[in-house]
Each structure stands twice: as structure tokens, then as C-alpha cells.
């Protein structure tokens, strides 16, 4: 049975006609182009690259940016696209998040005109793919400790270091690399594919985000023009500013994955009969799980919507986005686990979407700031006492 | 070629439908609505004809305020303008009443062609297009699979039963009901949705159109068909029973 719209609290009455239309486009696309092929890609561990031009044509890359061929969507509209994409697959949504929020956004926000003109139209059209290199083998939650260095030599920078867990790394035409200059300040650099000294390889053996490319990057005396430095930002606030954009999208995206799992579990529970020929949906313990899910999904929608409206008004600082990312990904993972339970043995096979979402969400729980790091961000905000170290 | 395309908003396919006891219509609160799927094919055909021959596409929809959403979808996909016949009681109209309202609104337009979907996914009358043509006094053809337009005439491929097709020719202006599946409707792109914000939707009421209608037919009651189970033992030799079974699978169950 096809996915049925999930809306318990008449959430739709909070949306404008245009917002609903944007969601409809994304949902139709996912239903027609993603659902039929995603289990195969997940099984093979391959990225559905043929979807890139279609995603571009629909305007999904850099959807909330203005100019350069971008659609100029509101934050709620952008969020609804993320929700629908992740209803399909977290890996696909990750690709769009990285392209939009982690590559196009920093070029848009911190780049000069030459950099914007060179990259944004191509990235918007999907003619170029980007990746974002912040995490290193030794520095994940604490990126400020990064070891990657950029040394100035005349009109060039020389990059040395290693990045790890980089989404789209080996397929990217341009990498936004965060590195420390000689004065110890974090700066962003654009590194083009094929630059001598720049190498990318893929992480294999993943049980999560299998339909997304995850790579390691190595830079060994990798020389780039000094003009590839993003001039507009210095320090950790550069990459963190990008992460705030991406985490916002994840908050919506996770809601989509939760909806997919809930819908699968609800349909299954109404059909599947155990004990006295009664559907398992008639048992209190099963209803408890379904009721928990729809309640959490409804709360998550409201949180996402409110942060989106705040963001449109320029009032959503990173700490609010942290709450959105933390709560919604956690609830989605719980929904996936409960749905898996309700599907019994069928829950472990890829005839159903649930186990795939569950495994994907384990990554989403960790990347872009782990669940606990977001707790610390909120804790810092409300107590004024940073507790990271 | 100026084309008017009639688009209707209907309950979303995945909406949970509730029918109050003895009611003549579903409960409309708490459900989502969407563009009638067959109308999506008519819209796509209109857009393709416009892209080939020039002109404009005007999307016309009748219904309550919410049905503007169907027009906005058409505008986002590339229609130039919208006309909304604002009517909170449109579900009381029978197909003749609907066609009268639509005809009155369409007569105000300068058009070469009117396209409708095959039927609506809610009432499924399948008559509105035909009645509309009669009221406009124009030639009409249904179940259109292909449109070739040249020199003010249309060459049309119609789908008949059992895999048969028919080619007919009509002069313009004309009214056509488009077969579902004739094309692959485009998506409303995000840029299209942004561009549609600036496009015009004119609003007309039944009173402004000067249409009064008294229903010629009425829905008594709607209900979900009751599931019934019937067991039949096929008698005769194995060969005879197998032949009977094949007949039944072919003509009753229609699975062969
Ligand atoms: C599929 C995938 C794709 C990714 N894509 C990208 C990408 O495109 N670009 C990129 O730069 N990175 C990417 N990442 C990396 C991701 O951002 C990091 O994995 C994440 O930041 C966590 O870092 P870590 O894995 O080193 O875990 P660690 O930082 O080692 O954390 C491990 C555990 O320790 C906890 N912990 C750490 N510090 C504290 C503390 N102070 N207090 C309490 N608990 C703490 C964490 O919460 C976690 O539970 C990706 C990761 C995955 C899995
Ligand atoms: C990897 C694997 C290997 C297996 N190997 C074997 C094997 O070797 N031999 C074998 O015989 N079986 C085997 N099984 C099957 C296993 O025992 C069943 O999956 C298990 O008993 C659950 O049954 P089910 O999958 O049909 O789920 P269901 O019984 O349909 O249950 C699905 C959900 O409904 C709930 N539920 C059902 N009834 C009620 C109720 N009355 N009240 C409240 N909640 C209810 C359950 O808790 C669960 O959440 C295997 C399963 C797996 C996954």
C-alpha cells in the first residue's frame, strides 16, 4: 500500500497553499522516482546518482538561497522538501543537505563574487557536486581540535591533513575544506577534484546510509590558489554556521523518516492477525506503540514548524535548531525501532522500509552534532555553563 | 493557441474518508484535497500544446476557497492565469449544473480549445466535459490519446474498447476530454511555485455569472460497498470444472 499522509492534529492548517504545493511536488517525486529503486540501492550500497539532474530541475539544491538560479523558498518550504526526501531515504536527504546547506550555503554566505559565480549556478543545476570536510579521524564532536593545516606560500595555500566520514567525498567536484592557517584560525577552502595531492576513497562496510557515498579525504602538500580561500568568515563559527542550516533540514527530514515507519507499522498492524484471528492493532500493547509514535510525530512537526517560522523571521539561533535536531532524530529512531517491533520478523527484511530507516537514523543521530552534544548545547544555553570539556 | 483547462479539486487519494450515517457526501473536515488526477493529464496536454503552438493556458476551477490550490498548482506548472468560480455549495450541483457554471465562465474567455479530464476522482460522473461542449455549442471528442493540431483543425486519436483506436478530425474551437495516462505530467518545480505567486487568479461567483441551476439529479446516499463472500462449487469432470473456472476468472473475477 502506498504511503498515506500523516497528520493527526490538522498540522496542514498551519501551512500555506504554496507550502503544501512544495510538499506535494517533493512527495510525488519521491513516490515515483525514489521508492521504487531505493531498496536496491540500499542493498547494493550505491548512490542513486541518476536522480541528481532531476533533483536539480525541481529546484531542490540551494532551495532557500536567493539568486544564482535558486528558488528562494522560505525555511518551512525548504523543510517540507527535506521531510519528503527523507521519507524516501536519509541518504538521499543527506546528499541534498550537503549540497545545499554545507556547500552552497558557505559559498553563498562566506564566498566572494567570483567564487559564487563560479560554483553556485553549477551546484544548483547539479552539474557540480560538493562535499563538506570538517570531521577528522581524531576530531568529531570537537572539530576545533582539527589537525588539517593550510600554509600560505605566495599566492597559494598548501593543505595537509585528513578528513573522515565525508558525505559525497569521492564524487564531489568541489570540497569545502576547513583547515587551520598558521595563526591557528579555522578557515574554509575550496578544493577542486583532481588537484594534485588531494585523494578521496570510500568507506566500506557501512550498515547505515548505504545509498549515500561516505568518504575519507587526504591532502598531502595539496596546493590550491589563494583565491580559493572563503574570505567571509574566520574561526569555528564558519563551519558551525553551515551546520545550523543543515541541522535545521535534518529536523524536518527525520520527521519524514518517522512518518514512513509509522505508516508502515500502522498498515501492517491493521492487516496482520495473531491470536483468535484478531489484527495485532487490536492489542493494547501495539496500540500503545502506535499512539506513542503519532504523538511524538505531531510534537516534532510543531517544533519543526515553529523553528522554521522563527528562522524566516531571523530569530532562530543555533540553540533552537539544536533542540529540533536532537528531539526529532531521537523520536524518529524510536519510531523506527517500535515499528520494527510491530512488523515482527517481517520488520527485518527490506520488503519494508523500516529497518533501512532505522539503520540510517543511527547515522543521523550521530552526524551534525551527536544527540548528546546537542543536549550540551541546550544545557550551555539555559545554564550559561559550557559542559563540553 | 489559447487553451482553457478545467481542473477540479478532490479529496486526496490517501485521505481517510468518513461518511456520516445516511449522508449524501463525505465529511470534509480533517481531510486533505488535491488536484483531480485525470485533470493533471489535461493540464499537461494543454501546456505541451501551448509550448508548441504559442498562446496561453487558463486554468478554471469551481469550488470553495480551498480549490484555488488546484489553480495554483496549474499556475506553478506553467499556466498563465487562473479563474476561480467561487462556490461553497458546488457539491450540490449535478454535472449539468457544473457544466452550466463552467460554460458561463469560459464564454468570457477568448479560447481555441477547452480541455477537461476524463472524470473526477470523487463523483466520477464522466459527463461534465461532454455537457460543457454541448452548452458551448462546440464539437467534442472524448478519451483522447493524441492531439495533432494544424491549420485550425485537430486530428485526434481516441481510445475505444479492447485495444482499438479511432482517428477523428474536428475544427477549432473544440472541447476535448483527455484520457488519463496520455502523457507524463510534469512536477511543479520550486521555481515554478515561486513564479506562480505573481500570477493572477480572477474570482467569479455563480451570481456574477448569472447562472441559476435546479438539480436534475440528486445523490440519495453514499456508502462503502459491503464485502460479501460467496462460495460456489464447480461441478462436472475435472476438465469441465477447469473450463468453468477459466470462464469465471476471465469474466467475473477479470483476473485473466
Ligand atoms: C554517514 C555519515 C556521514 C557523515 N558526513 C559528514 C560530512 O559530510 N562532513 C563531516 O565533516 N562530517 C561528517 N560526518 C561525521 C560526523 O559529523 C561525526 O561522526 C560526528 O560529529 C561525531 O563525531 P565522531 O564520530 O568522531 O564521534 P565522537 O566525537 O568520538 O563521539 C562519540 C560519542 O562520544 C560522545 N561525546 C563526545 N564528546 C562528548 C562530550 N564532551 N560530552 C559528552 N559526550 C561526548 C558523543 O555524543 C558520542 O556519543 C558523517 C558521519 C556519518 C556517520
Ligand atoms: C532472524 C530470525 C530467525 C528466526 N528463526 C526462527 C526459527 O528458527 N524457527 C521459528 O519457528 N521461528 C523463527 N523466527 C520467527 C520468530 O520466532 C518470530 O518472528 C516471532 O515469534 C514473532 O512473530 P512474528 O514475526 O510473526 O510477529 P507477530 O507475532 O506478528 O508480532 C508482531 C508485533 O505484534 C505484537 N503482538 C502480537 N500479538 C500480540 C498480542 N496478543 N498482544 C500484544 N502484542 C502482540 C508483537 O509483540 C510484535 O510487536 C525467526 C525470526 C527471525 C527474525
Has residue B37 got a pLDDT over 90?
yes
Q: Which three cell numbers stand for residue A114?
A: 567570483
**Per-residue model confidence (pLDDT) at position A181:** 97
Considering the domain A11-124 in this protein, what is its CATH number? 1.10.540.10
Please say whether the beta carbons of B203 and B84 come within 8 A. yes
Nearest Cα residue to A111 out of A22, A286, A292, A232: A232
Has residue B43 got a pLDDT over 80?
yes
Q: How many CA atoms lie within 13 A of A305 on its CB side?
A: 14
Query: Which B residues, 8 through 37, put their C-beta within 8 Å of a C-beta on chain A?
Result: 12, 14-16, 30, 32, 34
Q: Check CB contact of A143 with chain B, cutoff 8 Å.
A: no
The reply to whether B220 falls in a domain is no
- The string over A77-105, giving b where at least 16 C-beta atoms fall within 10 Å of a residue's C-beta and e elsewhere, is bbbbbbbbbbbbbbbbbbbbbbbbbbbbb
Please say whether the beta carbons of A309 and A76 come within 8 A. yes
Full 3-state SS string of chain A? CCCCCCCCCCHHHHCCHHHHHHHHHHHHHHHHHHHHHHHHHHHHCCCCHHHHHHHHHHCCCCCCCEECCEECCCHHHHHHHHHHHHHHCHHHHHHHHHHHHHHHHHHHHHCCHHHHHHHHHHHHCCCCCEEEECCECCECCCHHHCCCEEEEECCEEEEEEEEEEEECHHHCCEEEEEEEECCCCEEEEEEECCCCCEEEEECCCCCCCCCCCEEEEEEEEEEEEHHHECCCCCCCHHHHHHHHHHHHHHHHHHHHHHHHHHHHHHHHHHHCECCCCCEHHHCHHHHHHHHHHHHHHHHHHHHHHHHHHHHHCCCCCHHHHHHHHHHHHHHHHHHHHHHHHHCHHHHHCCCCCHHHHHHHHHHHHHCCCCHHHHHHHHHHHHHCCCCCC
**Nearest CA, atom 50, ligand 1:** A165
Has residue B21 got a pLDDT over 90?
no
Confidence of residue B256 (pLDDT cuts 50, 70, 90): confident
Average pLDDT along chain B:
92
Considering the domain A237-383 in this protein, what is its CATH number? 1.20.140.10
Which ligand lies nearest the alpha carbon of A281? 2
**Per-residue model confidence (pLDDT) at position A99:** 98
Q: Please indicate whether residue A368 is annotated as part of the active site.
A: yes
Please say whether the beta carbons of A262 and A335 come within 8 A. yes
The mean pLDDT of A126-141, rounded to a whole number, is: 98
Confidence of residue B188 (pLDDT cuts 50, 70, 90): very high
Confidence of residue A285 (pLDDT cuts 50, 70, 90): very high
Predicted-complex ipTM score: 0.87
Q: Mind listing the pLDDT tens digit for each residue in A219-241?
A: 999 999 999 999 999 999 999 99
Chain B environment of A85 (Cβ under 8 Å): none
Has residue B94 got a pLDDT over 90?
no
Q: Check CB contact of B103 with chain A, cutoff 8 Å.
A: no
Which member of B34, B68, B193 has the closest CB to residue A22? B193
CA A332 to chain centre: 14
Catalytic site residue from A19, A84, A334, A368: A368
The mean pLDDT of A6-12, rounded to a whole number, is: 95
Map out the domains of chain A as residue ranges. Answer: 11-124, 130-228, 237-383
Q: Which three cell numbers stand for residue B219?
A: 445523490
Q: Which three cell numbers stand for residue A366?
A: 550521530
Q: Give the architecture (CATH level 2) of A130-228.
A: Beta Barrel (2.40)
The mean pLDDT of A68-78, rounded to a whole number, is: 96
Has residue A280 got a pLDDT over 80?
yes
The residue among B17, B71, B190 with the most chain A CBs within 10 A of its CB, best to mutate, is B190
- Count up the domains in chain B and report the number: 1
The better pLDDT of the pair A110, B207 is held by: A110
The mean pLDDT of A210-214, rounded to a whole number, is: 98
Residues 6+ apart with CB under 8 A from A171: A47, A49, A129, A131, A213
Has residue A197 got a pLDDT over 90?
yes
Which member of A4, A12, A63 has the closest CB to residue B190? A63
The reply to whether B25 falls in a domain is yes
pTM above 0.95, yes or no: no
**Per-residue model confidence (pLDDT) at position B216:** 85
Please say whether the beta carbons of A236 and A179 come within 8 A. no
Confidence of residue B28 (pLDDT cuts 50, 70, 90): confident
Q: Mind listing the pLDDT tens digit for each residue in A300-328?
A: 999 999 999 999 999 999 999 999 999 99
Q: Check CB contact of B193 with chain A, cutoff 8 Å.
A: yes
Has residue A33 got a pLDDT over 90?
yes
Nearest Cα residue to A165 out of A140, A182, A141, A183: A140
Can you give the CATH number for the domain in which B45 is found? 3.40.50.620
**Per-residue model confidence (pLDDT) at position A2:** 86
Domain span at residue B152 reads 3-209
| CA distance readout (Å), B217 to B10, B25, B93, B214 | 20, 14, 9, 9
Confidence of residue B125 (pLDDT cuts 50, 70, 90): confident
Nearest Cα residue to B105 out of B59, B40, B51: B59
Average pLDDT along chain A:
97
Q: Which of A201-210, B13-22, B75-84 has the lowest mean pLDDT?
A: B13-22
Inspect the interface and report whether the beta carbons of B190 and A3 lie closer than 8 Å.
Answer: no
The mean pLDDT of B36-65, rounded to a whole number, is: 97
**Per-residue model confidence (pLDDT) at position A75:** 97
The mean pLDDT of A77-90, rounded to a whole number, is: 98
Give residue A30 CA to ligand 1 midpoint distance, Å. 29
Confidence of residue A132 (pLDDT cuts 50, 70, 90): very high
What percentage of chain A carries pLDDT values higher than 70? 100
Number of residues assigned to chain B: 256
Chain A environment of B188 (Cβ under 8 Å): 21, 24-25
The mean pLDDT of A263-289, rounded to a whole number, is: 96
Q: How many CA atoms lie within 13 A of A374 on its CB side?
A: 26
The better pLDDT of the pair A58, B19 is held by: A58
Q: Mind listing the pLDDT tens digit for each residue in A105-128?
A: 999 999 999 999 999 999 999 999
The reply to whether B221 falls in a domain is no
Q: Check CB contact of B201 with chain A, cutoff 8 Å.
A: no
The reply to whether B233 falls in a domain is no
The mean pLDDT of B197-220, rounded to a whole number, is: 90
Residues 6+ apart with CB under 8 A from B106: B4, B60, B114, B132, B136
Q: At what angle do helices B68-77 and B37-53 cross, to 10 degrees?
A: 40
Q: At what angle do helices A318-342 and A371-383 cross, to 10 degrees?
A: 140
Find out whether the beta carbon of A337 lies less than 6 Å from any atom of ligand 2.
Answer: no
Confidence of residue A279 (pLDDT cuts 50, 70, 90): very high
Query: Which B residues, 224 through 253, put their C-beta within 8 Å of a C-beta on chain A?
Result: none
d(CA A48, CA B50): 34
Has residue B91 got a pLDDT over 80?
no
The mean pLDDT of A40-55, rounded to a whole number, is: 98
**Per-residue model confidence (pLDDT) at position B225:** 84
Which ligand lies nearest the alpha carbon of A131? 1
**Per-residue model confidence (pLDDT) at position A353:** 98
d(CA A33, CA A51): 8
Which member of A4, A12, A73 has the closest CB to residue B190? A73
Nearest Cα residue to A89 out of A29, A160, A145: A29
Confidence of residue B124 (pLDDT cuts 50, 70, 90): confident
Find where cell 535545521 sits.
A248
The reply to whether B57 falls in a domain is yes
The reply to whether B236 falls in a domain is no
Q: How many CA atoms lie within 13 A of A211 on its CB side?
A: 29
Q: What is the DSSP string of chain B?
A: --EEEE--EEE-TT------TT-SS---TT--EEE-HHHHHHHHHHHHHHHHH---EEEEEEESGGGHHHHHHHHHHT-SEEEEEE-TTGGG--HHHHHHHHHHHHHTS--SEEEE-S--TTT----HHHHHHHHHT--EEEEEEEEEEETTEEEEEEE-STT-EEEEEEESSEEEEEPTTSS-PPP--HHHHHHHTTS-EEEEEHHHHT-----S-------PPPP--------S-HHHHHHHHHHHHHHTS---
Has residue B57 got a pLDDT over 90?
yes
Min Cα separation A55/chain B (Å): 10
Amino acid at each position: 500500500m502506498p504511503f498515506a499522509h500523516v497528520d493527526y492534529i490538522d498540522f496542514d492548517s498551519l501551512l500555506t497553499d504554496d507550502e503544501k504545493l512544495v510538499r506535494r511536488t517533493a512527495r510525488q517525486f519521491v513516490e515515483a522516482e525514489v521508492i521504487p529503486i531505493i531498496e536496491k540501492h540500499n542493498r547494493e550500497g550505491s548512490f542513486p546518482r541518476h536522480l541528481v539532474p532531476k533533483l536539480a530541475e525541481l529546484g531542490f539544491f540551494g532551495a532557500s538561497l536567493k539568486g544564482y538560479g535558486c528558488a528562494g523558498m522560505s525555511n518551512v518550504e525548504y523543510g517540507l522538501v527535506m521531510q519528503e526526501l527523507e521519507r524516501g531515504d536519509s541518504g538521499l536527504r543527506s546528499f541534498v543537505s550537503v549540497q545545499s546547506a554545507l556547500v552552497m550555503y558557505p559559498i553563498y554566505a562566506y564566498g566572494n563574487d567570483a567564487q559564487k559565480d563560479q560554483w553556485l549556478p553549477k551546484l544548483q543545476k547539479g552539474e557540480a557536486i560538493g562535499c563538506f570536510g570538517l570531521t577528522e579521524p581524531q576530531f568529531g564532536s570537537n572539530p576545533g581540535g582539527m589537525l588539517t593545516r593550510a600554509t600560505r606560500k605566495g599566492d597559494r595555500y598548501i593543505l595537509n591533513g585528513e578528513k573522515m566520514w565525508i558525505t559525497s567525498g569521492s564524487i564531489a567536484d568541489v570540497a569545502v575544506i576547513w583547515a587551520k592557517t598558521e595563526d591557528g584560525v579555522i578557515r574554509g577552502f575550496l578544493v577542486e577534484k583532481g588537484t594534485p595531492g588531494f585523494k578521496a576513497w570510500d568507506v566500506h562496510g557501512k550498515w547505515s546510509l548505504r545509498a549515500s557515498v561516505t568518504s575519507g579525504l587526504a591532502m598531502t602538500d595539496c596546493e590550491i590558489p589563494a583565491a580559493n580561500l572563503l574570505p567571509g568568515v574566520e574561526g569555528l563559527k564558519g563551519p558551525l554556521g553551515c551546520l545550523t542550516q543543515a541541522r535545521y533540514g535534518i529536523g524536518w527530514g527525520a520527521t519524514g523518516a518517522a512518518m514512513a515507519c509509522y505508516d508502515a507499522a500502522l498498515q501492517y498492524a491493521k492487516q496482520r492477525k495473531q491470536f483468535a484471528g484478531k489484527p495485532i492493532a487490536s492489542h493494547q500493547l501495539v496500540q500503545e506503540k502506535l499512539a506513542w509514535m503519532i504523538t511524538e510525530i505531531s510534537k516534532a512537526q510543531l517544533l519543526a514548524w515553529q523553528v522554521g517560522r522563527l528562522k524566516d523571521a531571523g530569530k532562530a539561533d543555533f540553540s533552537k535548531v539544536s533542540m529540533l535536531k536532537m528531539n526529532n532524530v531521537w523520536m524518529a529512531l524510536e519510531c523506527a525501532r517500535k515499528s520494527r517491533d510491530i512488523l515482527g520478523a517481517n520488520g527485518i527484511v527490506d520488503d519494508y522500509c523500516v529497518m533501512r530507516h532505522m539503520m540510517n537514523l543511527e547515522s543521523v543521530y550521530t552526524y551534525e552534532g551527536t544527540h548528546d552534544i546537542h543536549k550540551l548545547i541546550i544545557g550551555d544555553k539555559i545554564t550559561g555553563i559550557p559542559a563540553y570539556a | 493557441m489559447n487553451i482553457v483547462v478545467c481542473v477540479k479539486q478532490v479529496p486526496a487519494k490517501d485521505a481517510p474518508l468518513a461518511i456520516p450515517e445516511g449522508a449524501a457526501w463525505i465529511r470534509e473536515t480533517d481531510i486533505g484535497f488535491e488536484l483531480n488526477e485525470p485533470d493533471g493529464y489535461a493540464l499537461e496536454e494543454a501546456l505541451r500544446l501551448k509550448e508548441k503552438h504559442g498562446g496561453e493556458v487558463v486554468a478554471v476551477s469551481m469550488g470553495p476557497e480551498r480549490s484555488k490550490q488546484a489553480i495554483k498548482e496549474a499556475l506553478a506548472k506553467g499556466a498563465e492565469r487562473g479563474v476561480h468560480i467561487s462556490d461553497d455549495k458546488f457539491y450540490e450541483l449535478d454535472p449539468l449544473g457544473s457544466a452550466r457554471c463552467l460554460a458561463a465562465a469560459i464564454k468570457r474567455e477568448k479560447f481555441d480549445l477547452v480541455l477537461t479530464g476524463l472524470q473526477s476522482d470523487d463523483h466520477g460522473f464522466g459527463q461534465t466535459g461532454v455537457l460543457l461542449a454541448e452548452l458551448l455549442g462546440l464539437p467534442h471528442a472524448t478519451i483522447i490519446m493524441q492531439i495533432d493540431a494544424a491549420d485550425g483543425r485537430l486530428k485526434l486519436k481516441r481510445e475505444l474498447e479492447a485495444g482499438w483506436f479511432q482517428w477523428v478530425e474536428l475544427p477549432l474551437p473544440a472541447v476535448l476530454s483527455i484520457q488519463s495516462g496520455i502523457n507524463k505530467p510534469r512536477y511543479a518545480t520550486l521555481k515554478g511555485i515561486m513564479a506562480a505567486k505573481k500570477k493572477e487568479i480572477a474570482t467569479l461567483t455563480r451570481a456574477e455569472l448569472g447562472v441559476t441551476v435546479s438539480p436534475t439529479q440528486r445523490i440519495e446516499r453514499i456508502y462503502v460497498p459491503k464485502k460479501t463472500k460467496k462460495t460456489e462449487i464447480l461441478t462436472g469432470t475435472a476438465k469441465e470444472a477447469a473450463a468453468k473456472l477459466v470462464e469465471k476468472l476471465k469474466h467475473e473475477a477479470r483476473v485473466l
